[in-house]
Amino acid sequence: MMSCTNGTNKDLFLTEIQQVTQALMGKRPITLTFSYQQHDKVTRWLFEHASISSVDDVTYRDDGLIDLRVPIDEVVYHQYLKHFENERFEDKRGGARDNKTTAIKKGRLAPPPGWNNRSS
């Protein structure tokens, strides 16, 4: 229970509202790992593209990397990977596209099998 007069459990209430809002927006907590040198660049990019209000869950590791846990959706996560970790983006996407996909031939396209253009 929250009290409006003295603010009891206000933080708990705001945390619950934030979690519900993130769930409705399709966001889930994802841990991003990057080097110390990229910290400013990554956080600026996240504020601009991920619509986050603060960066609170940060872990500085001894190996020169930073773990940052932020709530983002899949689209923004893939944009992050493409922008900062292109190799992981290609792996997640399925590698480089091969040329075995169906190519559209120039000119008229063939109708689907069994299709007849004649009027009865």
- d(CA 57, CA 74) in angstroms, rounded, equals 19
Strands 28-35 and 65-72 come out as: antiparallel
pLDDT digits (tens, 9 = 90+) for 64-119: 999 999 888 888 988 998 888 877 667 766 654 444 444 444 556 666 677 766 65
What backbone torsions phi and psi does residue 61 show, to the nearest 5 degrees?
-95, 160
Question: Domains (ranges, CATH) in the chain?
Answer: 27-93 (3.30.70)
Confidence of residue 11 (pLDDT cuts 50, 70, 90): confident
Q: If you search the block for the tokens 């979690």, which residue do you land on?
A: 19
pLDDT attached to residue 56: 77
Q: Is the pLDDT of residue 13 over 60?
A: yes
More confident residue, 111 or 19: 19
pLDDT attached to residue 111: 64
Closest by Cα among 118, 30, 105 to 67: 30
